[in-house]
Amino acid sequence: MANSVHYRQFTGYLEIKKIMANDWKDRLGVVFSTNRDFNYENEGKNEHQTLPPQQQNIKVQLDRKKRNGKNVTLITGFVGAEEDLKAMGKILKTKCGVGGTVKDGEILIQGDFCNKIIEILKSEGYKVKRAGG
């Protein structure tokens, strides 16, 4: 019986340690405080406000780099929240009928669909430019 109590305390310690392991990254640059009542408050991540389509400067280009010779349509320049970028990616993948992904603020659509994507985005009201020839 004594072992089970000790084990529970030990697992609780590990769970707290896991939570605190990632907590220090949020507090980089904070100097030590001697005030016992000091409580560090996270400001949260600064999400960009999504600009209206008329103010977006989106670039569409065909990319083959590091893709084993396969064509990928790359859409860059979107300014806004990650959820809105994912929604745009989903719409483009559906309308083109192919797969793709949203990574690092860019949308990757499998295949050469530059002209079709430019038409789709222009019909949605975005300012679109073809980049890379």
Residue 121: its pLDDT value, please? 93
The one-letter amino acid at 133? G
Residue 34: its pLDDT value, please? 77
Across the chain, which distance is largest between two alpha carbons, in Å?
A: 74
Per DSSP, what are the bridge partners of residue 96? none
Where along the chain do its domains lie?
A: 53-130
Q: What is the pLDDT of residues 36-75, one digit of tens each?
A: 787 766 565 555 688 888 898 999 999 988 888 899 999 9
Pairing of strands 100-103, 106-110: antiparallel
Sign of CA dihedral 67, 70, 75, 77: positive
**More confident: 90 or 1:** 90
Q: Cα–Cα distance between 125 and 133 in angstroms, integer?
A: 23
Q: Under CATH, which number does the domain 53-130 receive?
A: 3.30.780.10
Q: How high does pLDDT run on average in the chain? A: 79
**More confident: 131 or 9:** 131
Residue 88: its pLDDT value, please? 93
Pairing of strands 100-103, 57-63: unpaired
